[in-house]
Amino acid sequence: MKTEREFKLVVPKFDNDGHRISTEKLKEIALEMSKHFGGVSVFPKVLGCWEGKEGLECEENALLVSARDSSDEKQFKDDMEFMKNLAKKVGNELGQEAVMLSEDIIKDVSFIAGLRKKEVPEAIREKDFFKKLMD
């Protein structure tokens, strides 16, 4: 029976003293996942909260998500081992007490081919300069 998996890693965008972690460092982590899985989706703003010393503590994170379309259980074990190692590396490099990692069995993941183009037709490009800056 074929099962498919989704792997998620929550990465902090700021250190424990409130300094922003460089975009290059976050890109490096995303690239590692992309190389392993063939791609990664990055959700750049995710609020992570936990029960801290002073009640509910929260920080801004990025969520990195990759999926595997396979029926090979060994591949999934290798994927999870890769993700655990990556999470450990992220936690150590970024000084985190813990880094959230999850693996979900999902019903279906599909990678539907499209037609890659350098640009979209002018008729569907955003023209409102104010709106482009506000998004």
pLDDT tens series, the chain, 135 aa:
567 999 999 999 999 999 999 999 999 999 999 999 999 999 999 999 989 888 998 999 999 999 998 888 899 999 999 999 999 999 999 999 999 999 999 888 877 888 888 988 888 887 887 776 776
Q: Which amino acid is at 45?
A: K
Please give the order of strands across the beta sheet that includes 3-12: 41-52, 55-70, 3-12, 101-106
Half-sphere exposure of 110 (CA within 13 A, CB side): 4
The full set of domain ranges for the chain reads 3-109
Tens digits of residue pLDDT in 2-21: 679 999 999 999 999 999 99
**Topology of domain 3-109, CATH:** Alpha-Beta Plaits (3.30.70)
Distance, CA of 99 to CA of 53 (rounded, Å): 18
> Is residue 66 within 8 Å of residue 41, measured between CB atoms?
yes
The answer, as to whether pTM is greater than 0.75, is yes
Cα-to-chain-centroid distance, residue 53: 28
Residue closest to 68 by CA, chosen among 58, 60, 76: 76
